[in-house]
Structure 1
Amino acid sequence: MKKAISKINKRRSRTKNNREHLQKKVGQAPGQLIFSGDKKVDLIKCETFIYNAAELAYYENDDIAQLLANREEGKNIWINIDGLHDTEFIEKVGKLFNLHTLLLEDVMNLNHRPKFEDYGEYIFFTIKMFNGVQNEELDYEQVSFVLGKDFVISFQEKPQDIFTNLRERLTSGQGRMRSKGPDYLFYRLIDTIVDYYYFAIEHFAEQLETLEEDVLENADKESLVKMQSIKKDLVFLRRSVLPVREALSGLIRSENKLLKKDTRPFFQDIYDHAIHVVESLESYRDMLSSIKDLHMNAMSNRMNEVMKVLTIISTIFIPLTFIAGIYGMNFQYMPELSYEYSYPIAWVVMIVLTLLMIYFFKRKKWL
């Protein structure tokens, strides 16, 4: 229960921070670069991969302008930037590749919904990336991609990501990434993110199974708090994934020549995966609703059991109270009161009545 309450408090704090960041942007001119998020790294890390089918060169935190100037003709470049708090650096990168200021503004807006935009000479795509589960919480960040004629730029909040395997394959020359154009790398990056959505929904599946078992065994306040926490996570994930479907649909329909004909079917495959993830989230939301109904029914049944026991106890004491009430009246002439064995007889009668009522309740299966 403490973990669930801690998650709710963190979520409230995150919502408060987002509200404060949004207030900074109110009234600002369009294209104004304002970082709307929490600083997650002290220093920006910039990885650069310059490659073709035959060779690859890797650089870390080198001057991008110098690398672009010395790049050989026919080589593609992937620039991965970790850390978005330095507006001057982001603006410098934008000027090097002639990126629109509105695009850079979206890059630095970490609360932006996933979307696709076609700028003609380049394509912009932003999406929520889920890195896995840490301390029973989804670890996520905002990631943006820019696809150009011979380059791909990725903007991330922090260095830890899910592209390790992709980097290894690119470096070792495995697969088709080095022989294909930058649009194929662009596809692989988005595909990796969408594939990791399955790990997120698997996390929810495990949580819901555990929660259902807990509710069946003991429907208490802790289960209700867990349900509320899972519900908020499901809503957030659905809100993050649902626009991805729309963005991918726009990407598929785009006639931009940066997306080659042989690469386009791969984006259709990602679109199908996104639909499947959304459908899974819908089924889990229905499952959570069923568990909530189960919890309410269990609580209601428990209350009914308590009321049944109290009612049976009250019913047993009704005749006993009647007898005690009659002989508790202070009339002067009551023959039974002067009888020597009146007291033990009264006890015997009340005990027999109690046993008969208990027997009757058991015959009726009320006990």
Structure 2
Amino acid sequence: MRFFFSGKKKEFRGHLLYSGDDFNKAQITFLKKEQDSYELKNIEQYSDEDIGIFFFKSLSDTESIMRYGKENNISSFLLDDIVNINQRPKAQFGEGHLFLSLRRLIVSNDSVTFSPISIYYDTKRITFFVNNENDDLITNFINRINNNRSPFRTSDIIYSIPLILDIITSEYLNALDVISIESQDAEIKVLDQEDDVDPKDIFFLKKKIYDMRKIIRPSKEALYSIIRSDEKMIGKSEKNYFYEIYENITQTLEHLEVYADNIRSIYELQLTINGNRLNEIMKTISVIGTIFIPLTFIAGIYGMNFEFMPELGFKYGYPVAVVVMIVIALFLLAWFKKRKWI
């Protein structure tokens, strides 16, 4: 919670600061836990006795988030983490609750964007705070949890957390596929020495991988802290699902490390190729300059305006000088070629 001083009443008032630029009115979706399914209900139909899942869409509506947090006894410090779109992924246990903050990787038109998601669990309800209203996260979640073959359909609501984490992990894999395609395209272009290869593109791809690692690695650490915790609100059977997600994220991170090394090698290779091209250009210029040095020397000597120069009166002086220059140039070209300099 960040505080600002109010000059009129001379008191401190707590306000949440949303770190993004956009603003969208909050929308709350409620899934009520029935005996063998989750039913989508209107928020006005919710009562304190109901057990279910809330989707709180839009982090920019801080007033609604503060009101929701007050009604559900969510700490102001956690609310501050929720509205911070740059919050580092973490897991935190409190008195009767679990707070988990993660970052999603959303693939759209072959581009990867980051979006925060926070999870608050207090045994009776789970709240997912998401910032992107237009993606299909909620639809995928409802379809998967109500699938007849889903073991989560009749399980405790705690199992919905591994389910949403599995969807997030799938988004990581989709982003990894984009990185794989871009990495392969860059590698092919560099190896084929195409002229349209821009080192900036490779650098930005390298930066994208770095940003993804910066998100996925702390997510792995957050899940590990849940698995290793002694909190009784998450039992051994639930931890098995968390461990599967942990393994998937570990494999994703390992693949990302491989792509990072590959992009680093491609970037260095591109710099080497550009350096070799520059060396070839400089070598060509040097060869041309070396050939013209003796020719310029001869032309310079006979271009001097001295009155007494024996060769100036020679009848065949001009053609002889030209022939000598041609012979010298051909000799130098043959010598350079023999030394494999050209």
TM-score clears 0.5: yes
CA RMSD of aligned residues (A): 2.5
Query: What corresponds to 1:14 in structure 2?
Result: none
1:147 equivalenced with 2:121 (yes/no): yes
Query: What corresponds to 2:83 in structure 1?
Result: 108
Matched AA of 1:46: I
Q: Is the 8 A contact 1:219 1:298 kept in 2?
A: no
Distance in 1, matches of 2:148 and 2:14, equals 39
Query: What corresponds to 1:295 in structure 2?
Result: 270
Superposed counterparts of 1:46-57, under 5 Å: 46-57=28-39
Distance change in 2, residues 1:54/1:267 (3 Å): closer
Distance change in 2, residues 1:157/1:50 (3 Å): same
**Which of 260, 283, 286 pairs up with 2:261?**
286
1:58 equivalenced with 2:40 (yes/no): yes
Distance in 1, matches of 2:92 and 2:183, equals 37
Superposed counterparts of 1:55-134, under 5 Å: 55-60=37-42, 62-63=43-44, 66-69=45-48, 71=50, 76-134=51-109
Query: What corresponds to 1:252 in structure 2?
Result: 227
Query: What corresponds to 1:361 in structure 2?
Result: 336
Query: What corresponds to 2:159 in structure 1?
Result: 184
Query: What corresponds to 1:34 in structure 2?
Result: 17
1:349 equivalenced with 2:324 (yes/no): yes
Distance in 2, matches of 1:172 and 1:249, equals 28
Relative to total residues, which structure has the larger helix share, 1 or 2?
1
Distance in 1, matches of 2:126 and 2:261, equals 39
Distance in 2, matches of 1:334 and 1:360, equals 32
**TM-score of the two chains, using structure 1 as the length reference:** 0.83
Query: What corresponds to 2:168 in structure 1?
Result: 193
Query: What corresponds to 1:231 in structure 2?
Result: 206
Matched AA of 1:34: L
The offset of 1:365, in angstroms, is 2.1
Distance in 2, matches of 1:285 and 1:258, equals 38
Sequence identity percentage: 31
The offset of 1:219, in angstroms, is 7.4
Q: Secondary structure at the match of 2:52?
A: strand
Distance in 2, matches of 1:31 and 1:129, equals 28
Distance in 2, matches of 1:348 and 1:148, equals 97
User: Cα deviation per residue 1:11-68 (whole Å; 9 max; x = unaligned)?
Assistant: xxxxxxxxxxxxx947788975332223353x322111112343432124x22xx412
Distance in 1, matches of 2:191 and 2:4, equals 53
Query: What corresponds to 1:45 in structure 2?
Result: 27
Matched AA of 2:203: Q
Distance change in 2, residues 1:70/1:147 (3 Å): closer
The offset of 1:305, in angstroms, is 0.7
Distance change in 2, residues 1:107/1:312 (3 Å): same
Distance in 2, matches of 1:333 and 1:107, equals 95
Distance change in 2, residues 1:275/1:69 (3 Å): closer
Query: What corresponds to 1:211 in structure 2?
Result: 186
Q: Secondary structure at the match of 2:150?
A: coil
Query: What corresponds to 2:8 in structure 1?
Result: none
Distance change in 2, residues 1:45/1:337 (3 Å): same
**Which of 271, 275, 280 pairs up with 1:305?**
280
User: Cα deviation per residue 1:241-291 (whole Å; 9 max; x = unaligned)?
Assistant: 111121111111222222132121111122222222222232222222212
Q: Give 5+ residue unaligned stretches, structure 1.
A: 1-23
Number of aligned positions between the proteins: 335
User: Cα deviation per residue 1:193-212 (whole Å; 9 max; x = unaligned)?
Assistant: 12321221221222222223
Distance change in 2, residues 1:189/1:338 (3 Å): same
The offset of 1:163, in angstroms, is 4.3
Greater Cα offset, 30-39 or 267-276: 30-39
The offset of 1:89, in angstroms, is 2.0
Q: Which has the higher contact order (CA 8 A, sep 6+)?
A: 1
Q: Give 5+ residue unaligned stretches, structure 2.
A: 6-11
